[in-house]
Amino acid sequence: AEDVNVDVIIIGAGMAGIAAGRTLTEMGITNFVILEATDRVGGRIRNTDFAGMKVEMGANWVEGVNGKELNPVWDLAKQVNLRTILTDTSNLSSNVYDASGALPPQIQAQAMATAQNEYVNSLSATLTANNDDDVSVLTAQRLFGSVASTPVEMALDYQLYDGEFAEPPRVTSLKNTQPLPTFENFGEDSYFAADPRGFATIIQPVASYLKNTNGTIEDPRLMLNKVVNKIAYGDWGVSVSTEDGATYTAKAAIATVSLGVLQSKLINFEPDLPFWKLEAIFEFNMAIYTKIFLKFPSKFWRTDPGTEFFLYADDSRGYYPVWQHLEREFPGSNIIFVTVTDDESRRIEQQSDNQTLSEIMDVLRKMYGPTIPMAEEILIPRWWSNRFFKGTFSNWPIGVTSREFAELQAPIDRLYFAGEHTSADYNGYIHGAYFTGIDAAKSVATCLKQGQCVSGSTKQKNKTKGKKLMEASVCAAPIKEELDAQRQHWVKKVKLVEEALAAKCA
Ligand SMILES: Cc1cc2nc3c(=O)[nH]c(=O)nc-3n(C[C@H](O)[C@H](O)[C@H](O)COP(=O)(O)OP(=O)(O)OC[C@H]3O[C@@H](n4cnc5c(N)ncnc54)[C@H](O)[C@@H]3O)c2cc1C
C-alpha cells in the first residue's frame, strides 16, 4: 500500500476543500494532497441527466445577491458566465392548491406570513441586543399568536421556513436564522442555476491551481475514489488512512466532510474526538432537502408570468408542498419538481420510486383533476442514504450557543475542520463552505509557517464534568451510586403515591 508524506492533507473536494487548496497555494504551501471519496470534484453541487436535460440534484441557487456586499459565489458565477434565472416568489399566494383544486388568491394568509416574518426578525434582534437566551422560530410565532394551523397557512409557513432550512420552525434557532446574514449582507435575491455545464462549473475558477495545460482539473495531488476511514492526530501531525489501504502522513489536515459524515461512523478518529467536540457535532443538525423531478408528455400547470412556484396545501404539513416548473429555465421541457424535507425526505428515500410516483400523481390529480397525463420519468436524489453526505446541509437548531458553535469549528491539535457546517454566518450555503475553506487554510499556514498553532475548546475547562461522565464507564462505582440514589428517590415517591391511592380506595 501507498505511504505518502506531505505538508497538508485536505479531506473532501467540495467547495470548501477546493477553496482550502487554493489558499494554501497562495500562501506558498503546495505540498498537499486532496483525498476525495467520490469520483468527482464538487461534492453537494452536482447535476445529472434527466429527460434529455441537466438538472441539479444538490445546490441550485446562488442565494443572497444584489445587496451591499458581493456574494463570492455570485462573483464565481459571473466569471464562468453561468446561466441563471432570477427567482420570484412574490406571487405565490395566487398559486395555491388544496385537495379540491385551485384556491382563490390567499392574500390574507400570505400577508400574515410576511408580517410574521418581520415580527420574528425584530424579536430576534431584541434577544440578541439584550443578550437573552435563544428561542425557536415557533416560540416567536406563538408569541405573535400566529402559529400556522390551516393547510394553506401551513403551506406558506413551510415555504418560508422549511423551504430555506429544511427543518420546521419548532427546531430552528431564532437568533441564528432570523434575519439571515446571507440575505442581510449579500441581498434579498436568489438566482436559480440552469446551465447545461452544471452549477458546479463555479468551482472551475477556484480550482485553477489543479488544472493541466488543457484547462481540465487534473493534478496528481487531487486523488479521487479515496475514502478516508481513519484519522490519527496529535501535536505531532496527522496520519490519514483510506479504505484502499493507503496511508498519508502530514503536518496538518483539514477535514471538510459534511456534518452528517462526522455524525456517522465512517471515519474513525484516533484518539477519539474529545467530548466537547463530539457534543458540538451531535448537537448541530444535518437537515435533508429533496427535490423530486418529474417529466410529463405535456403541460397542465400554469406558465403565465409569476407562476413559477405553486403550493399544495395538504392537511398534513410538508406533504408534497412546494412545486416549481422549469418552463423559464428549459422552455418546452415539461419538467416540474416538488420539494420535500426532513421526515418526508427520510420516508421517501426508503420507499421505491414507483411508490413515490404514485403518491405524487394522486396529489397532482387532486390539484389539477383526474385527466392529467401520467409522468414519464421521475428522479429522486437520495442524499441522506449516501454515506459520503448523510443529508443535504446543516441547520442551526435551538439550543446551540455561539460558544458551542465555536467548538464545532475548533481545530484539535493539527486536525482542522472546514465545510459549510463550520460557517457561523453562512452555514448551509455554498458561500459558507467557500469561506471556511479559506479560513482553515489560513490557520494551517499560520501554524506551519509561523509556529502559531491554535487548538482545542474555548470552554474545555468547564466541560470536565461531561468529559468525566463520558470517560468513566457506567459501571464505575461513583456513577452507579448516583444512579442508584436517583432510583431510590423515585421508588420512594412512587410508594407514597401508591399508599395515598390505597388509602383513598380502601
Ligand atoms: C439538495 C441540496 C440543495 C442545496 N441547495 C443549496 C442552494 O440552493 N444554495 C446554496 O448556497 N447551497 C445549497 N446547498 C448546500 C451546498 O451545496 C453546500 O453547503 C456546499 O456545497 C457544501 O460544500 P462543502 O465543501 O462544505 O461540503 P461537500 O460538498 O459535501 O464536500 C465534502 C466532500 O467530502 C467528500 N467526503 C465525504 N466523506 C469522505 C471521506 N470519508 N473521505 C474522503 N472524502 C469524503 C464528499 O464526497 C464531498 O465531495 C444545497 C445542498 C443540497 C444537497
Ligand 1 atom nearest to 383, measured from its CA: 53
Q: In 17-32, which positions are buried (b, 16+ CB within 10 angstroms) versus exposed (e)?
A: bbbbbbbbbeeebeeb
Beta carbons of 65 and 76 less than 8 angstroms apart? no
Q: Whose CA is nearest to atom 6 of ligand 1?
A: 59
Q: What number is the average pLDDT over the span 329-336?
A: 96
Does ligand 1 have an atom closer than 6 angstroms to the CB of 301?
Answer: no
Does ligand 1 have an atom closer than 6 angstroms to the CB of 417?
Answer: no
Residue 340 Cα distances to 44, 94, 291, 299, 320, angstroms:
17, 21, 7, 22, 6
- pLDDT of 471 reads 42
Does ligand 1 have an atom closer than 6 angstroms to the CB of 242?
Answer: no
pLDDT of 339 higher than 70: yes
Does ligand 1 have an atom closer than 6 angstroms to the CB of 164?
Answer: no
> What does the alpha-carbon distance between residue 245 and residue 411 come to, in Å, rounded to a whole number?
26
Of 18-32, 103-117, 240-254, 329-343, least confident by mean pLDDT is: 103-117
Q: In 477-493, which positions are buried (b, 16+ CB within 10 angstroms) versus exposed (e)?
A: eeeeeeeeeeeeeeeee
Higher-confidence residue of 52 and 463: namely 52
CA of 351 to the centre of ligand 1 (A): 24
CA of 56 to the centre of ligand 1 (A): 13
In Å, the largest CA–CA distance within the chain is: 93
481's enclosing H/E stretch is: helix 477-505
pLDDT class of 11 with cuts at 50, 70, 90:
very high
pLDDT class of 506 with cuts at 50, 70, 90:
low
Q: What is the pLDDT of residues 17-48, one digit of tens each?
A: 999 999 999 999 999 999 999 999 999 999 99
Report yes or no on whether pTM surpasses 0.95: no
Higher-confidence residue of 355 and 94: namely 355
* 63 included as an active-site residue: yes
pLDDT of 459 higher than 60: no
Number of residues that this document lists for the chain: 506
The fraction of the chain above a pLDDT of 90, given in percent, is 79
Ligand 1 atom nearest to 60, measured from its CA: 8
CA of 12 to the centre of ligand 1 (A): 9
> What does the alpha-carbon distance between residue 227 and residue 221 come to, in Å, rounded to a whole number?
15
From 76, 224, 257, the mutation candidate for ligand 1 (largest count of ligand atoms within 8 A of CB) is: 257
Residue 351 per-residue DSSP state: S
CA of 421 to the centre of ligand 1 (A): 10
Residue 14 per-residue DSSP state: S
pLDDT of 8 higher than 70: yes
- pLDDT of 2 reads 74
- pLDDT of 136 reads 96
- pLDDT of 465 reads 40
Kindly report the average pLDDT of the chain as a whole number. 91
- pLDDT of 419 reads 98
Q: What number is the average pLDDT over the span 256-262?
A: 98
- Work out the burial of residue 48: count CB atoms within 10 Å of its CB; fewer than 13 is exposed, 13-18 middle, 19 or more buried: middle
Q: What is the pLDDT of residues 111-170, one digit of tens each?
A: 767 767 777 888 888 888 888 899 999 999 888 777 899 999 999 999 999 999 999 999
For the record, the C-alpha cell of 433 comes out as 463552505
Tell me the three-class secondary structure of 248-296, residue by residue.
Answer: EEEEEEEECCCHHHHHCCCCEEECCCCHHHHHHHHHCEEECEEEEEEEC
CA of 114 to the centre of ligand 1 (A): 30
Q: What number is the average pLDDT over the span 55-63?
A: 98
Of the candidates 36, 63, 153, 279, the residue annotated as catalytic is 63
Q: What is the pLDDT of residues 467-500, one digit of tens each?
A: 443 444 444 555 556 556 656 665 665 666 667 6
- pLDDT of 495 reads 65
